[in-house]
Structure 1
Amino acid sequence: MYRLSGVSKRYRRGKQTIDALDGIDLTIDQGDKLVVQGPTGGGKSTLLQMLGGLDKPTAGSVELDGTDLAKLSEARLTKVRASTIGFVFQSWNLIPTLNARENVEAALVPLGVRAKERRRRAAGALESVGLGERLTHLPSELSGGQQQRVAIARAIVKEPKVLLADEPTGNLDEDMRDEIMAVLESLWRERGLTFVMVTHDSSIARKAPRLAVIRKGHIKVSENTRA
């Protein structure tokens, strides 16, 4: 699925050079679940952006199914993101004037899916995250946990191979956190997704089958045989 070789990412901040990632090697197989932890500014979100084709490395290669994302044009990257990769973020980024179903449908527009099929698939995706009775509710009529469920439905409605989540429970209390993690866990198992998640929450990290810790641009991956 993913193979990262010698991936570095450097930023300029005034006269200072920041090494967000420094020569990272990483393999993520189809169906893996990898949780990424580390201090703020340690490179976690930068790694996720590389996996999602949202940023390109300063050096090295990021291969997805044998294709180096770093060498693709922006047009090709857009197609890969639209069809293959689902994104969930800490901020739900829902369109306030669209209802739940319409927000989910929006992910299918770039794929050229017809309106009737968009509605059917969006309703199915919302049903799969427990919001089958909230199709016509606006974001303002939903709780924080429900809005995150809509965002998850939007990510999976296009039936991606990969689901990338950046602090998806960061704005939620403990009960909502556990509910959202149960939804994500179920989707990962049932759909055979490759799931990579960035989190500060150690209780989530402890349950991960694979944990990657990034510090000062370097990565260390450990296996959890009890997960």
Structure 2
Amino acid sequence: MYQLTGVTKRYTRGKETIDALAGVDLTIDDGDRLVIQGPTGGGKSTLLQMLGGLDRPTTGSVELDGVDLARLSEARLTAVRAEKIGFVFQSFNLIPTLTAQENVETALVPLRVKAAERRERAAEALGSVGLGERLGHLPGELSGGQQQRVAIARALVKRPRVLLADEPTGNLDEGTRDDIVDLLEGLWKEHSLTFVMVTHDSAVARRAPRLATIEAGRLTVAEQAVPAS
């Protein structure tokens, strides 16, 4: 699935040079569930952006199924993201003037799925996250947890192989957080996804079989026992 080799990401701010990633090596196999944790500014989100093809490394390679994302043209990289990778973010990123169903359908437009199939697949995806009765609701008519469920449905409606989540529970209360993590874990199993999540929440991190800790751009990965559910 993923093979990262010697990945660095260097930013320049005035006269200062910052290594957000400093020689990261990482293997993620098909079907893995990996959580990335670390301090603010340590490189967590930068690493997730590399996995999603949202940014390119300064040096090193990010291979997905043997293809180095860093060497792809922007058009081909956009196609890979549309076809293979689903994204979930802390801020939901829903379009406020579109209904839940319409928001989910937007993920299928780049894939040139016909309108009737888009509607059918969006309704099915929303049903799978427990929102089958909320298809016509606008984001402003939904709770935070429900909005994140719409965002998850949007990520999954295109049937990706990879799900990347950046602090997906960061804006949620503890009870809703647990519901969303339960949902994500269930969907990971059901769809045989490769699932990588960034979180600052140790209670969430403890639930993953693999934990990557990143600090000052340097990564360590450990296997961990998963608590019985």
The bucket for the TM-score relative to the shorter chain is over 0.9
> 1:226 & 1:111 partners in 2: Cα distance?
37
Partner of 1:126: 126
Partner of 2:92: 92
> 2:120 & 2:130 partners in 1: Cα distance?
16
- What SS does the aligned partner of 1:135 have? coil
> 1:142 & 1:207 partners in 2: Cα distance?
27
Shift of 1:207: 1.3
Partner of 1:182: 182
1:111 partnered with 2:111:
yes
Partner of 2:79: 79
- What SS does the aligned partner of 1:168 have? coil
> 1:71 & 1:29 partners in 2: Cα distance?
21
Partner of 1:208: 208
> 1:226 & 1:136 partners in 2: Cα distance?
38
2:155–2:163 CA contact under 8 A, matched in 1: yes
2:206–2:226 CA contact under 8 A, matched in 1: no
- What SS does the aligned partner of 1:137 have? coil
> 2:83 & 2:131 partners in 1: Cα distance?
23
Shift of 1:206: 1.1
* Corresponding letter in the other structure for 1:124: E
Q: How many residues of Structure 1 are paired with residues of Structure 2 in the alignment? A: 227
> 1:205 & 1:17 partners in 2: Cα distance?
30
Q: Deviations over 1:41-68 (max 9, x none)?
A: 0000000000000000000000000000
* Corresponding letter in the other structure for 2:151: A
Q: Deviations over 1:138-169 (max 9, x none)?
A: 10110000000000000000000000000000
Shift of 1:225: 3.2
* Corresponding letter in the other structure for 1:108: L
- What SS does the aligned partner of 1:46 have? helix
Q: Deviations over 1:65-90 (max 9, x none)?
A: 00000000000000000110000000
5 Å matches for 1:213-224? 213-224=213-224
> 1:215 & 1:139 partners in 2: Cα distance?
35
* Corresponding letter in the other structure for 2:142: L
CA RMSD of superposed structures (Å): 0.6
* Corresponding letter in the other structure for 2:213: V
Structure 2 unmatched runs, 5+: none
Q: Following TM superposition, where does structure 1 have runs of at least 4 consecutive aligned residues deviating by more than 3 angstroms?
A: none
Identity of aligned residues (%): 75
CA 159–141 in structure 1, closer or farther in 2 if over 3 Å, else same:
same
TM-score, length of structure 2 as denominator length = 0.98
* Corresponding letter in the other structure for 1:208: A
Partner of 2:3: 3
Q: Deviations over 1:3-54 (max 9, x none)?
A: 0000000000110000000011000000000000000000000000000000
> 1:56 & 1:97 partners in 2: Cα distance?
32
TM-score, length of structure 1 as denominator length = 0.99
Shift of 1:224: 1.1
Partner of 1:40: 40
